[in-house]
Structure 1
Amino acid sequence: MSKLIEYVNPIVEQRADPWVYKHTDGYYYFTASVPKYDLIEVRRSKTIEGLNDATPVVAWRKYETGPMSANIWAPEIHFIKGKWYIYYAAARTTETNNGLFDHRMFVLENASENPLEGEWVEKGQIKTKWESFALDATQFEHNGVHYLVWPQKDPDIEGNSNIYIAEMENPWTIKGEQVMITTPEYDWERIGFLVNEGPAVLKKNGKVFISFSASATDHHYCMGLLIADENSDLLDPKSWEKHPEPVFTTNEENGQYGPGHNSFTVSEDGEHDVFIYHARNYKEIEGDPLYDPNRHTRAQILTWDDHGYPVFGVPVADGKPVKN
């Protein structure tokens, strides 16, 4: 029997869009959106809860002007073929939009063994089919092929963002056609904004799962799930099935609002899948939810049903152990 795993939330306060990756060196590497959206930081710890006290190192800062000068959102750190990469979204500031919804996706590279050291080099923008709002890029490898998954605005489709997949030529370049695998179609994906964003990939039980987030970033924010067979053509939209209901939502009883934008990792003993996400502990927000800083990073054990599908449960209350 594996050891009981407990986490006490929140893990890290005022860090939204959290990304946690456990490397072969035994460290958990963490990055997330910071409240001022002005830089990218990385920290590491041997434990998930230890990330709270780990010293953050600034990997990159936004520019004063130009295409990477505003709203640095949702960085992710990945290790690909011996090098570290950070995927992030950045916008340009104009007199009319203040950098909102003018994002593009960019990549940083670091050849150091420890990504808290060495130099982060800009590899440039990830070019896609359109020059349109694009963000939240993530990547994964499957059967020897690297894929990029990301949300983007199709100029010909109503709404804010759909999610696309494409094969990768290298960590900052896609090749071939990008294909749409989900668009906001259900009511729960269309509250406030028509949004599918924040994809995260988990492979298990003969399936490829992609969680994603939907609707506005207030208490309506929630998580959905896409499922594909591991032997299917992941570049064929027909391979992907969307769960018709959200899989993780606001829980008023536990005082958790707008859970979403998750990542997946494993427990310290390697025996359990863990999902990392953000949520607020209050419902009413003054002003634009994007500028409310209190989306805190949280962790929970992911369980599995008899059919091999993930069970996310409900967001637990602050200050109580999360038990498997």
Structure 2
Amino acid sequence: MPPTRRHAPARARALPLLSAALLALLALLQPGAPTARAGTAPAPPAAAAAGTFTNPVVTQNGADPTIVRYNGYYYHLGTTWASHWEIRRSPTVGGLRNATPTTVYRETVASRCCNFWAPELHRLNGPNGLRWYLTYSAGVSGNIDHQHVHVLESAGNDPLGPYTYKGQVDPYGDNRWMIDSSYLTLPDGRLYLLHSFWEGGTQNLYAVRMSNPWTPTGRAARIATPTHAWEKQGAGVNEGPVILQRGGRTFLTYSASHCDTPDYKLGLMELTGSDPLAPGAWRKFPDPVFQRNDAAGVYGPGHNFFFPSPDGKEVWIAYHANSSPSQGCGGTRTTRVQKVNWKADGTPDFGTPVSTSTVLPEPSGTPALTGRE
């Protein structure tokens, strides 16, 4: 999550730790300040041996990562803080580090031009059949108190686009501050948009039924709010919801506590009812499932995404993290990945974040390179 993204005016008064110094950092992260966006990020480690890699896999624009796999390639995109989206493509996870970014969309409309945050890329059925949909948060130049959720649609089946703007998602009809959008598709085809905003002094999770990837039907329902102490470090925050489905079960990971602290972390929920909007339909697990690993030098791991291995036998998690407890919501956050394991009861086991010196094998089924870029 970008720095100071937690304070709309009322929230800024409630959270004194979100200071003028952080606002100054946000200004540095605007277009035209590349040193603040990327210059403070750690230098990438030396390349690992063929068939292996080390974290981080992306350093420039590595926060709030999405990685998808399609037609033999991995595609990565992350927060740019600017007015455009860019995607890296590689046949291997390790190859993403040096892949040349392709700009797939650039915005010129002033009301949604800037502060591009938290992109997610999903292949969904829409009015034109299967298309890629890029959902994200954006607002106006120089002010983060007007962030809203927007959706782009690809012209065809290429994740690199081109993309066209489809609309702002506003399930409340009041143009409220709203971030961290993601989709939930149920087996019967019902589509929901998950998102986060501040209400009642905390940042909560909400879901709304969608008639297509950019059009809500009715109002959203709150599905989670910070209740545990580990969700309230720095501020009471539940954000960054992402769905993980396996064996007929639907799990939801989310990021908890304030992103400016090293205690930003992941929590887990499970859909136990048939209606995601119904009270009590979600069970929240009592303990965090992925958090700082001081021994490995990993701090503030969060805002994740999931992607499959080439052979479909493994699930991998992409997430961002820092390499120092003093780093926060800025350009120091880099994209890291590791494999998800599974417990005997069928719940995911994320383990602990690995160090940047840990050599990891490419996901199972990765084919030998044949000269593809």
TM-score (norm 1): 0.88
The CA deviation string for residues 20-72 of structure 1, in whole angstroms up to 9 with x for no partner, is 1122x2222211113x4342111222222222222211122344x73223311
Distance in 2, Cα, partners of 1:58 & 1:31: 10
Q: In the TM superposition, what is the alpha-carbon distance from 1:6 to its structure 2 partner? A: 5.4
AA of the residue aligned to 1:306:
A
Q: 2:178 aligns with which of 134, 143, 146?
A: 134
The CA deviation string for residues 65-101 of structure 1, in whole angstroms up to 9 with x for no partner, is 73223311011111122212110101224xxxx4224
> Would you say the 8 A contact 1:30–1:77 is kept in 2?
no
Tell me the residue number matched to 1:317. Answer: 355
Alignment of 1:1-324 (within 5 A): 7-14=53-60, 15-23=62-70, 25-34=71-80, 36-63=81-108, 66-81=110-125, 82-93=130-141, 98-117=142-161, 119-129=162-172, 130-142=174-186, 143-154=188-199, 157-159=200-202, 161-217=203-259, 218-229=261-272, 232-285=274-327, 289-290=328-329, 292-322=330-360
> Would you say the 8 A contact 1:224–1:246 is kept in 2?
yes
What SS is found at the alignment partner of 1:188? helix
Aligned length, in residue pairs? 304
What percentage of aligned pairs have identical amino acids?
Answer: 36
AA of the residue aligned to 1:166:
V
What SS is found at the alignment partner of 2:219? strand
5+ residue gaps, structure 2:
1-50, 364-373
Distance in 1, Cα, partners of 2:236 & 2:339: 29
Distance in 2, Cα, partners of 1:7 & 1:147: 35
Q: Which structure has more strand as a fraction of its residues?
A: 1
The CA deviation string for residues 208-233 of structure 1, in whole angstroms up to 9 with x for no partner, is 1010101111302111111113x622
What SS is found at the alignment partner of 2:295? coil
AA of the residue aligned to 1:317:
S
> Would you say the 8 A contact 1:316–1:322 is kept in 2?
no
AA of the residue aligned to 2:120:
E
Q: In the TM superposition, what is the alpha-carbon distance from 1:126 to its structure 2 partner? A: 0.5
What SS is found at the alignment partner of 1:247? coil
Q: Which structure has more helix as a fraction of its residues?
A: 2
The CA deviation string for residues 105-161 of structure 1, in whole angstroms up to 9 with x for no partner, is 0011111232324x321112111214222111111311211111111223xx122x2
Distance in 2, Cα, partners of 1:269 & 1:12: 23
5+ residue gaps, structure 1:
none
What SS is found at the alignment partner of 2:313? coil
